[in-house]
Amino acid sequence: MSETRPLRTAIIIGSTREGRFGLTVAGWFTGRAAHRADLDLDVVDLAETRLPDTLGATDGAGGAEPAAVRALAPRLAAADAFVIVTPEYNHSFPAPLKTAIDWYVDEWRAKPVGFVSYGGTSGGLHAVEQLRPVFAELQAVTIRETVSFHSCWARFDERGRPVDAEGAAAAADGLLDQLTWWARALRAARIGLPQPQAA
């Protein structure tokens, strides 16, 4: 397998709420990322995956995983990197996003995760700070650079483009530059170095 192949990057839309602004944010970011020849994008809309709200048994007695969980698993497993598009709900991130994260373990391991957040005065950054330790527990690497839209409804025009196009583009490019560096380094490590087993 050539290590020059494009990096499979899953862009996960974390809100499933009716009327969500996340589609606008994710649409713009995906369009920006699509200009890069080093990325192969897969947009995962959690509103369409229909993952069950209740997690299955963890003791091996729960039987087969639900069909929706099995359907999403290969898409996450194939990803070299992830970008989470999330709003902030009550100083944290949406419950459907936490459920989606918790359904999987190996799919996240030793891969980089970037964040695009949006919301009111905090721009969704409280959600990002809550997500970092969650992914650390799954042995994923979160990217320092973020894209954040404060008072997001006023930050996009009627065509779904950022009002500050230059600033938003620079933030997105900075995130993607870091994400791709980590993605290539971790992909090489996953291939060449077996991960130590937990004690």
Per-residue pLDDT at 62: 56
Query: What pLDDT was estimated at residue 98?
Result: 97
Strands of 81-87's sheet in order across: 39-45, 7-13, 81-87, 112-118, 141-149
pLDDT at 57: 65
Confidence of residue 195 (pLDDT cuts 50, 70, 90): confident
Query: How many Cβ atoms are within 10 Å of 188's Cβ, its own excluded?
Result: 11
Residue 134: predicted pLDDT: 98
Question: Is the pLDDT confidence value at 61 over 80?
Answer: no
**Cα-Cα-Cα-Cα dihedral sign, residues 40, 45, 46, 48:** negative
pTM of the predicted structure, to 2 decimals: 0.93
Q: Per-residue pLDDT tens for 7-19?
A: 999 999 999 999 9
pLDDT at 59 over 80: no
- pLDDT value at position 1? 45
Q: What is the pLDDT of residues 104-133, one digit of tens each?
A: 999 999 999 999 999 999 999 999 999 999
Task: Quick: pLDDT tens for 71-86.
Answer: 999 999 999 999 999 9
Residue 112 and residue 88: Cα distance in Å, rounded? 21
The third-level CATH classification (topology) of the domain covering 7-49+68-188 is Rossmann fold (3.40.50)
Rounded to whole angstroms, how far apart are CA atoms 106 and 195?
11
Q: Where are the domains of the chain?
A: 7-49+68-188
Mean pLDDT computed over 163-173:
98
Over its C-alpha atoms, the chain yields an Rg (Å, rounded) of 17
